[in-house]
Amino acid sequence: MGLHDIPKVEKPQVYIDRAFGAASSKASALKTKLSHREKDPIERLRRLEMARLSAVSSLLCRDLKAITKSFPSFDQLPGFYLELIKLLVDIGAVKKALAATQWAASNTERFYKAYEGRLRRCRDARSISRYRCEFYGRVSSLVKQIKGELENLEEARRIFRKLPTIKTSMPTVVIAGFPNVGKTSLLKALTGSEPEIAYYPFTTKHIMIGYLKQGESKIQFIDTPGLLDRPLSRRNRIELQAVAALKHLADVVVFVLDPSQNCGFSLDEQLRLLSEIEKGFRKRFVVVINKSDLMENDEINSLAGRLSSRWRLVLAVSTIKGDGVGLLKERVLSLCQKTEP
């Protein structure tokens, strides 16, 4: 089961009432049958109470075990999600809560076996009823004891559901660059469609996700407003870790430059950010000179030559006119194919 599909973790009383309600229904259905088949009143009562115990135990164990099974194994999560979850929840506390839930399920089964044996040996109606009440009280107490743990698991579930749905097994291109350099326009030009919008922790903005399919190849593009759009030196520890999560995701980084500087940032500032991100990510990079329609050919060639001395793949693109977009697709596809196992 995935992080986004974990069912709601209810309050203890919900599980208790559900189990007791099922037991009552089962006993009512059995009572009619026994009234015709079983003439011994003690035996009839014993069978009714054993049916109640069985129903309570079965349903409580089913619900509690379903909770533990619905949460993923953190050790087997993709690095991208594990990094984010470390920032959002105390993984140790979640593991302890799951262990406590399993403990309650195991003890419910243990109590059931013990009280079932007592009922089988019992010969008077008062003791049979007393044992059933004792069992109900003990299993209710078990579930109530893990009230705090169930609340912690429900809080973790709500947090997990907000995480972006990312295809971690698909080749992924992360688009970076200062605000207003044309990242979202480039994403639309590359994928030919409006991007999906997904929540991402620790930024007031949302990431944009798009897909490019060419032949048998499919690539995931992610535009990261609020993340890879300013120097890392201006970020706190948590923001840096949120950025670090993207390192597990990116196969290729496309860094977008706006040499016209209409974005509000100088070219030198943009190049410093490019160097910083390149140093931090250590991935295959494509440097895109965007808004080439605002520049003369000589200017583009001069800048491309300057950048090519450091970055192997530098391409000029105009998302307005569509110039260079096709070549960029080809280069990105080629790089992603080289990163596939």
In this prediction, residue 104 has a pLDDT band, given cuts at 50, 70 and 90, of very high
Residue 64 CA to residue 112 CA, distance in Å, equals 15
**Which tens digit of pLDDT belongs to each residue from 260-304?**
888 888 888 889 888 888 888 888 899 998 887 777 778 878 888
Residues 205, 211: contact at Cβ < 8 Å?
no
Q: DSSP string spanning 259-297?
A: TT-TTSS-HHHHHHHHHHHHHHH-SEEEEEE--GGGS-H
pLDDT at 226: 62
Question: CA 341 to CA 329: how far, in whole Å?
Answer: 20
Give the strand order in the sheet containing 196-199: 196-199, 206-214, 217-223, 172-176, 252-257, 284-289, 314-316
Using pLDDT thresholds of 50, 70 and 90, give the confidence band for residue 214. confident
pLDDT classification of 100: cutoffs 50, 70, 90: very high
Is the confidence at residue 180, as pLDDT, over 90? Answer: no
% the chain with pLDDT above 70: 91
Confidence of residue 340 (pLDDT cuts 50, 70, 90): low
Residue span(s) of the chain under CATH 1.20.120.1190 come to 3-162
The pLDDT of residue 316: 87
Fold of 172-339: Rossmann fold (3.40.50)
pLDDT at 317 over 90: no
pLDDT for position 203: 62
Residues 194 and 215: beta-carbon distance below 8 Å: no
For 4-8, 132-136, 163-167, 230-234, which range has the lowest pLDDT when averaged over its residues? 230-234
pLDDT of residue 35: 65
Q: Tell which wins on pLDDT, 257 or 107.
A: 107
Q: Residue for token digits 């698909």?
A: 170
The pairing of beta strand 196-199 with beta strand 206-214:
antiparallel
Between 149 and 234, the higher pLDDT residue: 149
pLDDT reported for residue 55:
95
Residue 7 CA to residue 159 CA, distance in Å, equals 13
Query: What's the sign of the alpha-carbon dihedral 15, 16, 17, 22?
Result: positive
3-class SS letters over 5-67? HCCCCCCHHHHHHHHHHHHHHHHHHHHHHHHHHCCCHHHHHHHHHHHHHHHHHHHHHHHHHHH
Q: Is the pTM of this model over 0.85?
A: no
Between 238 and 75, the higher pLDDT residue: 75
User: Which residue ranges does the chain devote to CATH 3.40.50.300?
Assistant: 172-339
Overall CATH class of domain 3-162:
mainly alpha
- CA–CA dist 341, 339 (Å, integer): 6
Mean pLDDT computed over every residue of the chain: 87
Higher pLDDT, 226 or 308: 308
Tell me the pLDDT band of 8, cut-offs 50, 70 and 90: very high
